Amino acid sequence: MVALVIAEHDNASLKGSTLHTVTAAVQCGGDVHVLVAGSNAGAAATAAAAIAGVSKVIVADAPHFADGLAENVAEQVLALANAYSHILAPATAYGKNILPRVAAKLDVAQISEITKVDSPDTFERPIYAGNAIAYVQSSDKIKVITVRSTGFDAAAATGGSAATETVAAVADSGKSAFVSREVAKSDRPELTAAKIIVSGGRGMGSGEAFKILEPLADKLNAAMGASRAAVDAGYVPNDWQVGQTGKIVAPTLYIAVGISGAIQHLAGMKDSKTIVAINKDPEAPIFSVADYGIVGDLFDIVPQLVAELG
C-alpha cells in the first residue's frame, strides 16, 4: 500500500494542515508520498521532503497551479491516482474543494473528515455535530479521504529525507481562472493554528462590545473567535466563526465568553485541551464541556481577568 497526501501550501511554505494529514497517511500503513502541485514551489517541496514519515515528494510545477485551482489540481491527482491505495488531503477549504472531484472521477465514495484510522480500510468520523462517531469501512480500491487536523498530531516537520521526483504537469483544464484574493491581515495567531483562543458569542451584545475581549487576547497572545450567532448578528467577520459550519479548532486553551454552547459550536471546539466558560446563565450548555466555569456578567469578569494577568 502507498498513500498520497495532497500538500496544502502557498508555493513558499506548507500549511500546518499538511503535517496532520501526513500522520493520518502513515497510520494507513505503507509508504507515504506527498504531491506538491504549484508554481515555483521548490521551497514547499523542500519542506515536504523534510517531513518525518514521507518517503517521496512528487512535484508538478506549472503556472496554472499557482493559485491551487481545484479543477487543475484534481486532474493532476487523477493522473497519478492508480498508483495509490489511499489519497488524502486536509479537511480544509483547499482539500474539500479538490477531493470530491477526484472521488467522483474515480467513481468511489469519499470518506470525509476522519479523526482516527482503525485499519487501512476502516476509519472513524464524527456525525450528528460530533455527538456520535461513525465507523466507515471502505472496499474501494482507492480510498479518497479528507482528514480533520484536530484528530491527529502533526508529523515532525524535520528529520525526514524523502526523495523528490518531478512529474509532467497536466494541461490547464480551462474550467476556471483565478481573479483576485482578499486576505484578512491580523497581528494575532491564525485561528486554526492558535494555541489559545478567546471567543465571544451573542451574549456580547454588539460588535463594539467585542473590544472588551481584545486586552485579554493581547495578554495571552491569543487568536479571537466567535460563535455563529455572533457572526450572523454581524458583530464580527465570518472568518472568526468556530463551529460545525465554521472552523474546527483544538487549542490548548479555549475561553468562551458569552457563548451559550449550541451543539453546532461545541462540535467545533470541544476537543480543546482546557475550556473556560464565562456566562451569566448557570444552565448554559457550554458548562457541560467546560473544565472551568465562571457564572457572572462578562463585562465585570473579563476586565478582572485582564487585571489579574497583569
Tell me the residue ranges of DSSP E strands in 152-220.
163-166, 196-200
Rounded to the nearest 5°, which phi and psi values hold at 5? -105, 130
Distance CA 88, CA 21 (A): 7
Do residues 230 and 250 touch, judged by C-beta distance below 8 A? no
SS (H, E, C) 274-300: EEEEEECCCCCHHHHCCCEEEECCHHH
Domain ranges of the chain: 2-166, 191-308
Residue 185's SS3 state is coil
Spatial CA neighbour of 9 closest among 32, 33, 54, 40 = 40
Strand blocks (E) in 25-148: 31-38, 56-61, 86-90, 110-114, 116-119, 122-127, 132-137, 143-147
CA distance linking residue 211 with residue 214, whole number of Å: 5
Fold agreement between 2-166 and 191-308: yes
Lookup: cell for 172? 490547464
Ramachandran angles phi, psi of 150, nearest 5°: -70, -15
* Dihedral of the alpha carbons of 144, 148, 152, 154, in degrees to the nearest 10: 90
Residues listed for the chain: 310
DSSP string, 104-134: HHHT--EEEEE-EEEETTEEEEEETTTTEEE
Angle at which helices 93-106 and 70-80 cross, to 10°: 50
Return the residue matching grid coordinates 494575532: 188
Q: What is the DSSP letter of 266?
A: H
What CATH number is given for 191-308 in this structure? 3.40.50.1220
* CA 87/CA 142 separation, integer angstroms: 7
Predicted pLDDT of residue 182: 79
Kindly report the CATH class assigned to 2-166.
alpha beta
Render each residue's pLDDT in the chain as its tens digit; 310 residues. Answer: 899 999 999 999 999 999 999 999 999 999 999 999 999 999 999 999 999 999 999 999 999 999 999 999 999 999 999 999 999 999 999 999 999 999 999 999 999 999 999 999 999 999 887 889 999 999 999 999 999 998 999 999 999 899 999 999 999 998 898 898 877 777 888 898 899 999 999 999 999 999 999 999 999 999 999 999 999 999 999 999 999 889 999 999 999 999 999 999 999 998 899 999 999 999 999 999 999 999 999 999 999 999 999 7
List 86's β-bridge partners, or say none: 3, 143
Rounded Cα–Cα distance for residues 179 and 167 (Å): 27
pLDDT for 245: 85
